[in-house]
Homo-oligomer: A and B are copies of this chain.
Amino acid sequence: MPSLDPAQRQLGDMDADAFRRHAAAVTELIARYLEDVASRPVVPAVEPGQLRAALPSAPPAEPEPFEALLADFDRLILPNATHWQHPGFLAYFPSNTSGPGILGEYLAAALNVNAMLWRTGPSATELEQVALDWLRQLIGLPEGFMGTINDTASSSTLYALAAAREAAPELRIRQEGLAGRPDIPAMRVYCSEDAHSSVDKAVVTLGLGLSGVWRVPMDDDYRLDVRALERAIASDRARGVRPIAVVATVGTTSTTAIDPVPAIADICERERLWLHVDAAYGGSAAVVPAMRWVMDGTGRADSLVVNPHKWLFTPLDCSALFTRRPDVLRRAFSLTPEYLATSLGDDVLNLMDYGVSLGRRFRALKLWFVLRYFGASGLEARVAEHIRLGQLFREWVDASPAFERLAPAPFSVVVFRWHPPGLDDGAALDAANARLLERVNATGEAFLSHTRAKGRYAIRLAVGNIRTREEHVRRAWELLQELAGE
C-alpha cells in the first residue's frame, strides 16, 4: 500500500529521497515504454469522452501517493494515447523524441528558468543563441541569421509575418494599427495553394483577414508558379492592394513540394517584399549534404522556420525562427514596462522582445543535448536512412500496377493511392482509398494520414521516426496491398 511522502503532510516540495525514488520509477516506465511501444496499437481504440468519464470530476481534496498517480498514468493515460513514437507512426509529419531530448527536457523542468530577460536566464539565453547558430550551420543557412526558439511553426510564421507588416515603419502600424485608417490599403501575403494553414491563421490574427492571403496556383509538381505570383502581385498593385510578403515552402505538408525559392527571392527583392520560408519539415533534410540543395535560395530570405521537434529528434516544442532582420522583428514585439527593465537595458539580448510570449522555457537545452549526442554525422545518418526508406516505398508504389503515386517525393513522404486498372477517377475511387486508409489504421500496426492532391483523395506515408526501420515500412506496404482488395 503506497503511502504519502513526508513533504506531502508538511509544506515545501517533495524531498530529495522521495524524488529519487519516484524518478527511478518514472525512468523505468519510460525505458520500458520506448522499448515496447511497437507492441501497442499506434492509435488507441477509444471513443471520445471515454477517458474523461473514467476520471473524477472534482479535484482531490487531500494529497495522493505518487504511486497512485503513476499507476493511473499507466492504466488510463498511456493506453489511450496515440503513440507518436511508435515505429509504425507514418502519419502527418513525425514528432520525434529521443533519449538525449527527453533528458534535456527533464533537466529544463527542474531548473525551470524563465529566460524572458538575459538577466533572468543568462545561460538559457546564450545557449539558445549557440544551439541555433549550430543548427543554422547544420542546415546550410549563411551567417547573418539570428535564431530564436518558439513553440511551433505556427507561432514562428505569425512572428515573421508580424515583422513583415512592421517592415514599413512609415505606415505606423505598431502605433496606430490598421482599423479606422483610410490611409492604410488592404494588404496581401502570397503563398502556394498547398502552403500550410498556419499562414492563414497568422494573417487572420494580424488583422489582414483570410482575404489577405492570396493562394498562388501550383505547377504540375505542386510548386508555387512563379509567373502566377508575379501576375498576382501586379494585379494587386494595380488595384491598390499592398503586397507585403511571400511565404515559400520547402516541403509542403500535403506533398512535401519545394517551391522555387531562388526565383521567388528574385521577385521579393525586386518588389521589396518580405520573404518568409516555411522549412518547418524540409529544412531538417539539409543536415544530409546530398539534400542540401533543398535550401537553395533560402539564404536570401528575410526569415525562415525549421522545426527540430519534427525531424531532428527533439521533443515538442522546439521551432527555430531565423531572421536576417532581427531589428524589425524586435520592433514588432518589443515593449519594456518598468517592472521588466534591467540596468543592462538594450545592450543584451532579451528573448521576450522577439515574440508574443513573455515567459520563455529553457528549450535550447534539449536541442543542445540532441545535437551533441548524435553529432552532425549521427543526425545525417538517421535522416538519410529515413529518406532511403521513403524512396524505397516510392519504388514499391511505382512498380505496383494497383497503386499510383500522385506527387513527386523529394524527401521521405510518399503521396499515393490505390488505383486498380478499370476504376475511374472520381468519388468512388476517393471513397475506396478513404476506406483503405481506415482499414490499415484499424490494424494498429501502422498509422498513415491522407491529403488531397489536386482534388484527388490521397494516402500519405511519412517516414521520419527515429524508431522506424525498413521492416515497419515494408509492413505498411503489405497491409496496404492486403487490405486494398477487401
Contact = CB atoms under 8 A, between A and B. Distances in A.
Contacts of A373: 8, 14, 63-64, 66, 69
A330 interface: no
Interface string A1-44: 00000011001111010111011101111111111000000011
A255 B168 CA distance: 37
Contact of A348 (B48, B102, B206, B372): B48
A84 interface: yes
Which one of A211, A339, A343 has the greatest number of beta carbons of chain B within 10 Å? Answer: A339
A60 B371 contact: yes
B197 A186 contact: no
A209 interface: yes
A253 interface: yes
A99 B347 CA distance: 36
A469 to B, nearest CB: 8
A118 interface: yes
Interface stretch (A90-98, A223-231, A269-277, A392-400): A90-98
A52 to B, nearest CB: 5
A24 B339 CA distance: 40
Interface string A352-391: 0000111111000110110111111110011001000000
A107 B70 CA distance: 10
Contacts of A175: 209-211
Given A14-B373, A179-B207, A381-B11, A81 B152 contact: no
Contacts of A113: 81-82, 84, 95
A24 B50 CA distance: 36
Interface in A234-251: 240-241
Contacts of A107: 26, 29-30, 73
Q: Chain A, interface size: which category?
A: 35 or more
A450 interface: yes
A31 B19 contact: yes
Interface stretch (A125-133, A290-298, A476-484): A125-133
Contact of A317 (B124, B359, B385, B449): B359
A362 B68 CA distance: 20
Which one of A29, A68, A99 has the greatest number of beta carbons of chain B within 10 Å? Answer: A99
Given A34-B19, A110-B102, A77 B123 contact: yes
A146 interface: no
B112 A109 contact: no
Contacts of A198: 356, 358
Interface stretch (A154-162, A259-267, A403-411): A154-162
Contacts of A197: 335-337, 340, 358
Which one of A134, A316, A317 has the greatest number of beta carbons of chain B within 10 Å? Answer: A316
Contacts of A181: 179, 186
A443 interface: no
Contacts of A103: 22-23, 26, 66
Contact of A124 (B81, B123, B124): B81
Given A52-B129, A127-B77, A102 B109 contact: yes
A402 interface: no
Contacts of A154: 356-359
Contact of A207 (B185, B200, B208, B460): B208
Contact of A81 (B50, B58, B122): B122
Nearest to A64: B372
A32 B16 contact: yes
Contacts of A22: 99, 103
B99 A211 contact: no
A137 B58 contact: yes
Contacts of A16: 31-32, 34-35
A138 interface: yes
A63 to B, nearest CB: 4
A175 to B, nearest CB: 5
B210 A174 contact: yes
B377 A110 contact: no
A471 interface: no
Q: Which 5 pairs across A and B sit closest by C-beta, in order of nearness?
A: A207-B207, A177-B209, A14-B99, A180-B186, A59-B134
10 contacts: A48-B344, A48-B348, A55-B126, A69-B373, A109-B315, A172-B209, A178-B178, A180-B241, A205-B356, A207-B207
